[in-house]
Amino acid sequence: MISCVTRGAAETRSLGAAVAAVAAPGDLIVLAGDLGAGKTALVQGFAAALGVARPVTSPTFVLANRYVGRMVVNHLDAYRLNGMAEARDLGLPELLDDGVTLVEWGDVISAALPASRLEIALGFGAGPDDRSVVLTPWGPSWLERRAALGRAVQTWRAPVRAGGAPAEPEPAC
C-alpha cells in the first residue's frame, strides 16, 4: 500500500502522470472516491503523460471513452451501472486486451473485474482541495512493480494541466 496527499487537482493530475510511467498494456486500474474526489483529474494526468492530446472528459454519460497515445487508454465509468450483468455489457475482456484500462467507480463493480489490478482510492483531506490517495497493487504483475510505483509516486509534485496542453490565448475567429 502506498499513501500520499495531493493538494489540488493539478497535483492529482501529476500523480496520474507518475502512475502512467509504470503502466503497461493490459493493466487495469480501479479508481474509487466520492463525487469531486479527483478520479477524472487523475486519469487526465495519466492519459496526458502517455501522449493523449485530446481533452480527457468524464465518461459518466458515455460510459466508455477510448484514447490513443503511446498506448491505448480506455476510460470507463461505472457510476450509473446497476449490477454485474451491466458491467459485463461494457465488454471488459476485449478492452483489457487493448491498452490500459481505468475504471472510475470501479469499486462498485469490483466483483466483475479481474483480480490483478491497481486500486487507487481518493478521499477528502483536511483542506478543501486536499486529497488523501491510497494506491494498492493486487496480483503478481502489479506487486512486481510495487517499488517502481512507490518511486514514481514521489515525483507527482510537478503540476500537469488538464488535456496535456498549455493554456491557449483567446482564439481568433
Partner 1 sequence: MARRRRRPNPGVGPVTPPPPSSLIGAPAMAAPPPIVGDNALVLGIETSCDETAAAVVAGGGRRVLSSVVSSQIDLHARYGGVVPEIAGRAHVELMLPVVTEAVVTAGVADDDVAAVAATCGPGLVGALLVGVSAAKALALVWSVPFVAVNHLEAHLHAAFLDEPDIELPVVVILVSGGHTMLVLMTDRLRFRVLGETLDDAAGEAFDKVARFLGLGYPGGPAIDRLATAGDPDAIAFPRPMLDDGWDFSFSGLKTAVINHVRRHQAADPADVAASFQEAVADVLVAKARRAAAACGARGLCLAGGVAANTRLRELVLDAGMADGLETYLPSPAMCTDNAAMVAAAGWWRLRADGPSPLDAGADPSLRLPGC
Least distance in Å: CB of 64 to partner 1? 7
Least distance in Å: CB of 141 to partner 1? 28
Rounded to whole angstroms, how far apart are CA atoms 101 and 171? Answer: 34
Nearer CB in complex with partner 1: 115/173: 173
Rounded to whole angstroms, how far apart are CA atoms 96 and 158? Answer: 30
| 73 in contact with partner 1 (CB under 8 A) | no
| 41 in contact with partner 1 (CB under 8 A) | yes
Contact with partner 1 (CB under 8 A): which of 81, 100, 102, 113?
81
User: Phi, psi (5° rounding) for residue 130?
Assistant: -80, 140
Contact with partner 1 (CB under 8 A): which of 4, 51, 79, 125?
79
Question: In the stretch 112-151, what mask flags binding to partner 1 with x, by CB under 8 A?
Answer: ------------x---x-----------------------
End-to-end CA distance of the chain: give it in Å, rounded.
Answer: 50
Rounded to whole angstroms, how far apart are CA atoms 103 and 171? Answer: 34
Contact with partner 1 (CB under 8 A): which of 55, 70, 97, 139?
55
Compute how many residues bind partner 1; rule: CB under 8 A. Answer: 37
| 111 in contact with partner 1 (CB under 8 A) | no
Amino acid present at 7: R
* 60: three-class secondary structure by DSSP: coil
Place of cell 500500500: 1
- Candidates 23-31, 37-45, 133-141, 144-152 — which segment interacts with partner 1 by CB under 8 A? 37-45
∠ CA 15-140-38, nearest 5°, is 20
Q: Would you state the cell numbers that stand for residue 20, as one nine-digit string?
A: 502512467
In 3D space, the residue among 8, 79, 20 whose CA is nearest the CA of residue 45 turns out to be 20
Which residues are at the interface with partner 1 (CB under 8 A)? Answer: 9, 34-36, 40-41, 44, 55-58, 60-66, 79-82, 85-86, 89-90, 124, 128, 162-163, 167-173
